[in-house]
Amino acid sequence: MLKIVSVVGARPQFIKAAAVSRVLRSTEGVKEILVHTGQHYDANMSDVFFEELEIPRPDYNLGIGSGTHGAQTGKMLEAIEKVLLEEKPDWVLVYGDTNSTLAGALAAVKLHIPVAHVEAGLRSFNRHMPEEINRVLTDHASDLLFAPTKTAVMNLRHEGIPEERIKLVGDVMYDAALFYGKMAEGQSQILNKLGLKPKEYILATVHRAENTDDPVRLKVIFDALCEIAGEIKVVLPLHPRTREALIKSGMYDKVASAICLTEPVGYLDMVMLEKNARLIATDSGGVQKEAFFYRVPCVTLREETEWVELVELGWNILLNPVFCDIVTVIENILEQFNKMDLNAYKQSSAAKKIIAYLIDDVI
Ligand code: UD1
Ligand code: UDP
């Protein structure tokens, strides 16, 4: 029996792990032990995904919670190590680029347990982002690197990662979008609940540290979204980090009166909000891609992105909040966005390929 410990902890990891776990658990001869670090813990940042996406209950919930990078990652490292010593798995599977990813990879590699990284090779080349450090270190600690795109493969080659460790498998978030996208259509009531008509609103999300922790950027972004809300409804499921930043900066009341703020929503509601939006404005990695999956024009409220193909194809527009006129760009796009039909991320069955490689590598 091949034993795999999967480490998750933050919202996007639940979605990625849901796609992989579904296939993993239906594969004979493979046993998954699920570890939740507790990095995200509010019901609408964690439980809702386990329930809706039918992710099995974690075998271990480490309950680490929030903290500074060092404290949070350090506590996770210690707690994950204990689990690994107890479980002695054949593989540790980590996802994406959060502190939970790095802690999982580091705990495993120090115990000489093979590590597989899903969403390997993404780079923003901005070392100020905590995610960039997590990605680079996790990739270099990993034995199998599951790259979602050709660009990711090239990035890993340039960093000298041995070719045999790199596997181009496609994007697990596309697997999730295909599988749960259909479910969302049947189950989500969010449009009715918020009184939204298809293509008559903009969907926005903001949560990156670089935007929330910089008062100038936070103000520029939310001033722009409030101004746009005068022309077309703006719906924004609010990440707890951003809620705190808006309250701290004294902007919350103004924003709440201009924009339709909601609590973070479950994945099925999010899919419906994305599919039916006229435009998406976001600093999220996952949401940028989902905009493309559902062919919704997207502006990314950042200076750079790891998902460069979408920008190169003209599908996603990077908007440095400080130097660009967000309102004018969005108005222009709303007027004349040229729909294209492109296939950059449309490689499905990433989850199946990942599991085949894990089995192959051990046999
Ligand atoms: C983390 C990831 C980021 C990812 C994001 C997905 C790191 C360094 N960052 O950022 O890459 O894009 O998750 O959403 O790992 N909080 C709550 N309730 C929760 C979780 C967080 O109130 O359930 C608040 C706390 O005040 C906390 C803050 O949000 O301090 C930030 O949470 P944290 O997990 O440290 O980082 P994220 O910004 O969520
Ligand atoms: N998401 C969600 N509810 C929300 C906001 C986002 O289900 O209120 C989903 C979104 O559809 C995507 C993932 O969470 O699949 C992206 O996570 P997030 O933006 O938190 O992190 P990132 O992808 O930037 O790391």
Domain boundaries, the chain: 2-171+347-361, 190-336
At 363 the pLDDT is 38
Q: What is the mean pLDDT of residues 7-13?
A: 98
pLDDT of residue 323: 77
Determine the CATH number of domain 190-336.
3.40.50.2000
Average pLDDT value for residue range 16-24: 95
User: Quick one: pLDDT at residue 340?
Assistant: 47
Residues 66, 48: Cα–Cα separation, whole Å: 19
Using the mean position of ligand 2's atoms as its centre, give its distance from the Cα of residue 263 in Å.
13
pLDDT at position 341, please? 44
Q: What is the pTM of this model?
A: 0.95
CB atoms inside a 10 Å sphere around CB 189: 10
Residue 32 Cα to ligand 1 midpoint, Å, equals: 25
Q: For the chain, what is the mean pLDDT?
A: 94
**Using CA positions, which residue lies closest to atom 15 of ligand 1?**
98
Q: What tokens appear for 70 in the block? A: 């060092």
Tell whether ligand 1 has an atom less than 6 A from the beta carbon of residue 212: no
**Does residue 40 surpass a pLDDT of 90?**
yes
In angstroms, the CA 73 to CA 6 distance is: 17
Reading the block at residue 330, the tokens are 């969005």
Where would I find the beta strands (DSSP E) of the chain? Answer: 2-8, 30-36, 60-61, 91-95, 115-118, 144-147, 166-168, 201-205, 233-237, 260-262, 279-282, 298-300, 316-318
In a 3-state reduction of DSSP, which class is residue 160?
A: coil
pLDDT of the residue at 342 = 46
pLDDT band at 329 (very low <50, low <70, confident <90, very high): confident
Q: How many other CB atoms sit within 10 Å of the CB of residue 339?
A: 8
* Beta partners for residue 92, in sequence order: 5, 115
With 0-12 / 13-18 / 19 or more C-beta atoms within 10 angstroms meaning exposed / middle / buried, residue 92 is buried
Closest residue to atom 10 of ligand 2, CA basis: 287
Q: Which CATH architecture has domain 2-171+347-361?
A: 3-Layer(aba) Sandwich (3.40)
**pLDDT tens string 93-112:** 999 999 999 999 999 999 99
Measure the CA–CA gap between 279 and 236, rounded to whole angstroms.
12
Query: With the CA atoms of 203, 189, 285 and 334 taken in that order, what torsion angle do they form, in degrees rounded to the nearest 10?
Result: -30
Query: For the segment 111-165, what is each residue's pLDDT rounded down to a tens digit?
Result: 999 999 999 999 999 999 999 999 999 999 999 999 999 999 999 999 999 999 9
Dmax (CA) for the chain in angstroms is 60
Q: Could you tell me if 157 and 163 are in contact, meaning their C-beta atoms sit under 8 angstroms apart?
A: yes
Pocket of ligand 2 (CB under 6 A): 11-12, 15, 205, 207, 237, 264-267, 270, 284-287, 290
Please tell me the distance from the alpha carbon of residue 216 to that of residue 146, in angstroms, as a whole number.
37
Q: What is the pLDDT of residue 8?
A: 98
Residue 264 CA: nearest ligand 2 atom is: 8
Res 308: pLDDT:
93
d(CA 242, CA 33): 32
pLDDT confidence band for 362 (50 / 70 / 90): low
Atom of ligand 1 nearest to the CA of 98: 15
Nearby residues of 100 by Cβ (< 8 Å), 6 or more positions away: 7, 8, 9, 10, 13, 37, 39, 76, 94
Which token pair is 276? 């039916």
Q: What residues are labeled active site?
A: 207
Tell me which of 11, 172, 290, 293 to substitute to probe ligand 2's pocket, judged by most ligand atoms within 8 Å of the beta carbon: 11
Q: Is the pLDDT of residue 213 over 80?
A: yes
**2-171+347-361 and 190-336: identical CATH topology:** yes
**Cα of 12 to ligand 2 centre, how many Å?**
5
Q: Tell me the CA–centroid distance for residue 281 and ligand 1, in Å.
A: 19
Regarding beta strands 144-147 and 115-118, do their DSSP bridges make them parallel or antiparallel, or are they unpaired? parallel
